[in-house]
């Protein structure tokens, strides 16, 4: 896991690129979750990777 922490204030500015909806932060997994799109976007070195191709599909 990275030593760089994600700045939670970024959540106010970031939206899901698929649904344009809100994201939730999963600190343990270091992911931003879009429940509407069913995707988890990774956070690498404190930087959210908001590319659909890089996102993990959520299990139902």
Cα gap 26→42, rounded to integer Å: 10
Model pTM score: 0.85
Q: Which domains does the chain have, with CATH numbers?
A: 8-57 (2.20.25.10)
User: Which residue, 21, 20, 25, is CA-closest to 10?
Assistant: 25
Q: What is the pLDDT of residues 34-56, one digit of tens each?
A: 999 999 999 998 899 999 999 99
Q: What is the pLDDT of residues 18-33, one digit of tens each?
A: 999 999 999 999 999 9
Looking up tokens 């999963």 gives 26
């Amino acid at each position: 896991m990275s030593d760089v922490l994600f700045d939670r204030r970024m959540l106010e500015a970031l939206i899901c690129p698929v649904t344009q909806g809100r994201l939730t932060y999963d600190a343990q997994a270091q992911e931003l979750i879009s429940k509407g799109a069913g995707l988890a976007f990774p956070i690498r070195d404190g930087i959210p990777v908001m590319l659909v191709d890089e996102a993990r599909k959520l299990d139902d």
